[in-house]
Chains A and B, each alone.
Chain A
């Protein structure tokens, strides 16, 4: 990694705190949810102090995730609006996967893959939240009929699996595209990172479209 004199702020302090609250909730929900989904995974219930504790705590973490993700939606929806250029990016997905980004059209703040993750979760998390309420035995066990609860538990598990797969893609992409994790832990990226992965965004920054504060001296 070359060092640069200047860095670009990609995620603010609020962005990062909100993201990591969401991430912790999501991981805990995945572990407890898988334990209740498949017998091979039931041993994970030990992480939560046993089956009863896991069953009790899972819905509360789910509520926190919903709230936390609403925060992410408010902060990130605008930059994830789908544009024509996203279609171009999708067409050159082969070059993206082969690390040949010079052949990919310049990307703005987010590429189509990142937008896909955002909108998938924006759809799936509310679905999980509402179906989860229906099957929350302690408080809502008698609120709906049994056929509704059966449908809810089926949709809940399908949506959960979809969300976990999207999450795997999200985590791998962050590891694969080096220094992306630092953007979400320390908040900044280098001009070279922006040039390589989000060139249109870098040009917007250079043109002053995102204000002067976004560029800082390296901490």
Chain B
């Protein structure tokens, strides 16, 4: 959303040059969402609206605590409520705070055609620089988590910034500050992984044998991680992808096809140019003209 620092980029969309990165002596940060400690109070949702000045239009009750029903340009984080009946026949209410995962290898950034509209800072946060966004929706195609939303009002793409504006001045993200149970934590990625391991050991001792950390390596790890009681089945949590990866169609489109295509077009043009300077133009001669006239004249006589 904001571009408070422009000298600590590690990735910049649609750029063929090295991005400015002198000020990159930064720790990799991460937000750890401990789903097992979440009580579904939505304080994080409110804090996100407050800090970012977002207001979603009032919607309709859809028979679920989940409200609004989906992420939108004005809803950057959303508590998703899933009811799961476990093997023992007991109900488990799996509540997951959904939002941008801040992938180490961001599919949105890879897909974006507008130079500098999506950047990744040295601390790992993936940010949309909205004045450069052209509203094409390619980021949505690149995202393995279905996160970015394009506004119908200004045709810009929006998502969680991980409060890059707060983090850059040493504050924690608004949702972290608001969480009353400590289910959302923020710090260096190493610390968050260590802390997650302690939680997982505790959960296992209490019977959640499949408890684990969600930090999918297919996208290089993420800067938003979950502690899950059922880490073997992430999709239980309102469709969190079991194996998130950038679609091979996006990888092909944004990878090998780009240089091959430009090369192909250039080759066609060069082939034409070199044909011109070797064989030259194909011109009508005096004899052709005479022969052509003769055909028409002869026809006129016989007709």
Contact = CB atoms under 8 A, between A and B. Distances in A.
A138 B155 contact: yes
A101 B258 contact: no
B258 A38 contact: yes
A113 interface: no
Contacts of B289: 2, 4, 190-192, 195
Contacts of B269: 168, 172
A14 interface: no
Contact of A206 (B138, B152, B253, B295): B295
B88 to A, nearest CB: 35
Contact of A158 (B257, B296, B299): B257
Given A39-B113, A150-B250, A196-B288, A165 B265 contact: yes
A45 B138 CA distance: 16
Grouping DSSP codes into helix (H, G, I), strand (E, B) and loop, the B interface class, with mixed when no group exceeds half, is helix
Contacts of A38: 258, 261-262
B76 to A, nearest CB: 18
Interface stretch (A49-57, A67-75, A84-92, A122-130): A49-57
B150 A39 contact: no
A192 B146 contact: no
B24 interface: no
Interface in B253-303: 253, 257-258, 261-262, 264-265, 268-269, 272, 275-276, 279-286, 288-293, 295-296, 298-299, 303
B276 A36 contact: no
Interface stretch (B31-39, B129-137, B210-218, B224-232): B129-137
Nearest to A180: B282
A192 B265 contact: no
Interface string B3-21: 0000000000011100000
A150 B134 CA distance: 18
A195 B288 contact: yes
B141 interface: yes
B284 A151 contact: no
B261 A203 contact: no
A135 interface: yes
Contacts of A195: 284, 288-289, 291-292, 295
Given A161-B265, A168-B268, A178-B282, A154 B252 contact: yes
B292 A202 contact: yes
A121 interface: no
Contacts of A37: 113, 258, 261
Interface of A: 1-2, 4-6, 35-40, 42, 45, 51-52, 54-56, 97-99, 101, 135, 137-138, 141, 146-147, 149-151, 153-154, 157-158, 161, 164-165, 168-169, 172, 175-179, 190-197, 202-203, 205-208, 215
21 contacts: A2-B285, A6-B296, A37-B261, A39-B14, A42-B14, A135-B137, A137-B135, A137-B136, A137-B137, A150-B141, A153-B249, A172-B275, A175-B272, A176-B276, A178-B281, A190-B284, A191-B293, A192-B289, A206-B296, A206-B298, A207-B299
Given A150-B247, A153-B141, A207-B299, 17 more contacts: A2-B289, A39-B16, A52-B155, A138-B155, A146-B140, A168-B269, A176-B282, A177-B282, A178-B281, A191-B296, A192-B293, A193-B292, A195-B288, A197-B282, A205-B296, A206-B295, A215-B296
Interface of B: 14-16, 113-115, 132, 134-138, 140-141, 146, 150, 152, 155, 247, 249-250, 252-253, 257-258, 261-262, 264-265, 268-269, 272, 275-276, 279-286, 288-293, 295-296, 298-299, 303
